[in-house]
Amino acid sequence: MVEWKPEDRGGSGGQGVAPSEAALLIHDGDRLLESDGRLAAITGHTVDDLRYVSLLPTLFAPVSLPYVQRVIGEKDATAHIFFARRKQGGLLPVEVTTRPGIYEGKPAQFTLICDVTAPRRTISGLNEWERRFRHTLDNVRMIAVQLDAQGTILYANDYLLELSGWRRDELVGANWFERFVPEKARAAVRQVHGRVMAGEMEMAAHFENPILTRDGTSRMVSWNNTLLLDESGGIIGSSSLGEDITDTLRVAVDLRASEARWRSLAEGSPDHVVTLAPDLTITYVNRPLPGLTVGEMVGASILTFKASEQRSLVEATLAGVLESGKSARYESRYPFPGEGDLYYETNAAPLFDDGSITGLTLVVRDITARKEDERRLIDAHRRLEEAIAEKDQYLSLIAHDIKSPLSGVRSMLQMIRENPARLQSGERDVGGAMIANIDKVLRLIDHMLAGRGTQGTTPLSRKVVSLRHLVDEAVQSLEVAAAEKGVAVENRIPESLTRYVDPALIHQLFMNLLSNAIKFSHRGGHVTVEAREDEDRIVVADTGVGIDPSRIPSLTDSSVTTTTPGTAAETGYGLGLPFCQKIVRLHGGELTIVSTPGVGTRVAARLPERRPVALIVDDDELIRIVYGARLRDMGLSVQEAGDGVSAMGLMEREKPDLVLCDIHMAPGDGFETLRWARDRWEATDLPFYLVSSDSRPDTREKGRQMGANGLLVKPISEEALDREIRTHLFV
């Protein structure tokens, strides 16, 4: 290690301090390598304080740091005056002498630091170090002033002159308190100064107070203070360095006001306002996300509150905002435990401080309701497309069914044209047959105009109907097609077998099943329709070509086209069986197919028995018993309620098929109950009869305007009750 000698300091004219008054630091420009420990007596910093930190920024004031770094590494040892940081706060002028050297075989920097306010450096002994010190003070943007014990200004640097508007000759020799201290505080400040000069109290190393300029304006100054001592250690004055912080305080006040306004806006915002540090840690949130507290969010990463599959995308988006300085918008999902998913739209913008990006501001809006609306819109669009496809399918099937009776009429007309005498021969009632076929076409057109498809949005128009009657109608419609192939169709369904079904759709079901059976039967084949009273299955069986078992699963799938020519080259659309499956499922059943190639096919439609439900609402239990017995005799299931409120509760749980409701009862009279029902169902979907002994025209008219299907006057005759029930629930 290079030996450090007093003559190595290179001071000016031997005016430097003795080595015993200086602290030696050996360093590499950043880290402390060695020290003699004397620095603690000057700045308060120990060797341990400086060992593991960046040396120069810790030891020197920001105003001096660039100059210190510039002189480090100079070949010749030179002395400079800089401002060092006291450990306990405040600044201290020090003389710094530095030169390069070798420490433990490696290049290092050897620096001596001396306190220029030591007793040897008094105001009376202006020498070379003081000249350099004052030169330094005159070239920094800080106030430098020296006062004697009475407060007389001994020295004022150029920056104080510039800031205050006074000339140097107007200040030196003048009283500091009279020139610079506001009148209200003058006496108190003078008293404190006097006590410090008398040694009665310690001088504050650091404080802030205002000074007056020549034009009477006030500037706020942050002071660092040091006592001036004579050679014997007596107090002879003070030396102060001050920083004008007026603009800084004004900016701070404006910032606080701006922050207060910003927070006021944020706290009142219906959206979530979040600020993030550059590492995406939450530093502020006006309102926490559902199920969380502000404390749980602040300090956590924003990515914690995103769905796992979205975190990388959100992270990349926010990183892009930090890098580019441009705002971005994105949507994300927040999995809310126990409540499902919440969706948010986030607008992310950069936070700037002095031109640099220091974080992000997020405005987070709950769009869960909007997302739900979008989902419903998509679902509605999908259902609309499905409904249109089903309607097209339905029209195709109707067209196919219309074609058969029209073909029969055409054949009969062709026969008459070729031999008119046959019309009068009495061989067959040709005219009657043509009228019957035209009636069938008209019924099919009625069904089509009524929009009777299989889409689930259209309620079933159920009625109690004879299944044998529906099969007979279908057989008659297909009579010509069956006769042309010589296929016999036998209806074995009992006369008494009824079901509460949609007659038009079940008629269409039998039409399609019988049409297929005839289509794939050989000439002279046999088709039967049978069902048992104790079963809920209707089976259509034929002795036709049969079906390959591997094809059966796809026959009822509407997404698979399975059209096959019949035994007489009849064509079709491949839509019949999927349509039939939908009809049966709408009624709560299932369509099943069993077939043996070369033997025939059996198609079973399960139609579960369901009785129509009538709700009787009356506060008179005896009336409920009488009406209930009559309705049960008609094959209906009966529910009872003693008031309108109870009736609404029953209907909320399960819609009945017909309502008989008394008018005068409480709570919830008949009109209130009717209004509640009509808010949910049309008169065609839920027949609703008011019952009352009040038969006045205005009562009847009020019920009609509110949507009642009629008014039944007590006592109700069996004939009137049967007539209204059968009108709506029976064919």
Q: What is the 3-state secondary structure (H, E, C) of 59-72?
A: HECCCCHHHHHHHC
For the cut 90, the answer to whether the pLDDT of residue 242 exceeds it is no
Instruction: For residues 402 and 386, give the distance between their C-alpha atoms in angstroms, rounded to a whole number.
Output: 24
More confident call, 6 vs 209? 209
- Which pLDDT band holds residue 571 (cuts at 50, 70, 90)? low
pLDDT of residue 561: 65
pLDDT of residue 650: 95
Counting residues of the chain whose pLDDT is more than 90, the rounded percentage is 36
Three-class SS string for 482-519?
HHHHCCEEEECCCCCCEEEECHHHHHHHHHHHHHHHHH
Pairing, β 526-530 against β 488-491: parallel
pLDDT digits (tens, 9 = 90+) for 337-357: 666 788 889 999 998 887 889
**C-alpha torsion angle, residues 175, 178, 181, 187 (rounded to 10):** 100
Give me the sheet containing 637-641, strands edge to edge.
637-641, 613-617, 658-662, 688-692, 710-713
DSSP run (H or E) holding 631: helix 621-633
Counting residues of the chain whose pLDDT is more than 70, the rounded percentage is 83
The winner for highest mean pLDDT among 350-364, 418-432, 480-494, 650-664 is 650-664
**Mean pLDDT over residues 175-182, rounded?**
93
The pair of three-digit structure tokens given for residue 230, joined into one six-digit string: 């004579």
Nearest to 290 by CA among 340, 360, 348: 340
For the cut 90, the answer to whether the pLDDT of residue 380 exceeds it is no
Instruction: For residues 314 and 306, give the distance between their C-alpha atoms in angstroms, rounded to a whole number.
Output: 8
The distance from CA 693 to its chain's CA centroid, rounded to whole angstroms, is: 57
Contact present, 55 and 74 (Cβ < 8 Å)? no
- Which pLDDT band holds residue 122 (cuts at 50, 70, 90)? very low
Instruction: For residues 306 and 308, give the distance between their C-alpha atoms in angstroms, rounded to a whole number.
Output: 6
pLDDT of residue 419: 75
pLDDT of residue 6: 39
pLDDT digits (tens, 9 = 90+) for 279-331: 999 999 888 888 888 889 999 999 888 878 888 889 999 999 999 999 999 88
For the cut 80, the answer to whether the pLDDT of residue 400 exceeds it is no
Poorest-confidence range of 76-90, 169-183, 200-214, 648-662? 76-90
Residue with tokens 């994300």: 332
**Mean pLDDT over residues 253-259, rounded?**
71
pLDDT of residue 338: 64
Instruction: For residues 238 and 153, give the distance between their C-alpha atoms in angstroms, rounded to a whole number.
Output: 10
pLDDT of residue 5: 44
pLDDT of residue 7: 44
Burial (CB count within 10 angstroms: exposed 0-12, middle 13-18, buried 19+), residue 172: middle
Contact present, 581 and 604 (Cβ < 8 Å)? no
End-to-end CA distance of the chain: 119
Nearest to 558 by CA among 585, 540, 535, 532: 585
Burial (CB count within 10 angstroms: exposed 0-12, middle 13-18, buried 19+), residue 203: middle
pLDDT digits (tens, 9 = 90+) for 699-724: 999 999 999 999 999 999 889 999 99
**Mean pLDDT over residues 438-442, rounded?**
72
Burial (CB count within 10 angstroms: exposed 0-12, middle 13-18, buried 19+), residue 256: exposed
For the cut 90, the answer to whether the pLDDT of residue 490 exceeds it is yes
pLDDT of residue 517: 93
Contact present, 691 and 716 (Cβ < 8 Å)? yes
- Which pLDDT band holds residue 584 (cuts at 50, 70, 90)? very high
**Mean pLDDT over residues 367-389, rounded?**
83
The pair of three-digit structure tokens given for residue 449, joined into one six-digit string: 């105009």
pLDDT of residue 645: 94
pLDDT of residue 18: 37
DSSP run (H or E) holding 361: strand 356-366
Poorest-confidence range of 90-104, 249-263, 424-438, 591-605? 424-438
Mean of all residue pLDDT scores within the chain:
82
Burial (CB count within 10 angstroms: exposed 0-12, middle 13-18, buried 19+), residue 339: exposed
Which amino acid is it at 292? Answer: L
Question: pTM for the complete prediction?
Answer: 0.47
For the cut 60, the answer to whether the pLDDT of residue 599 exceeds it is yes
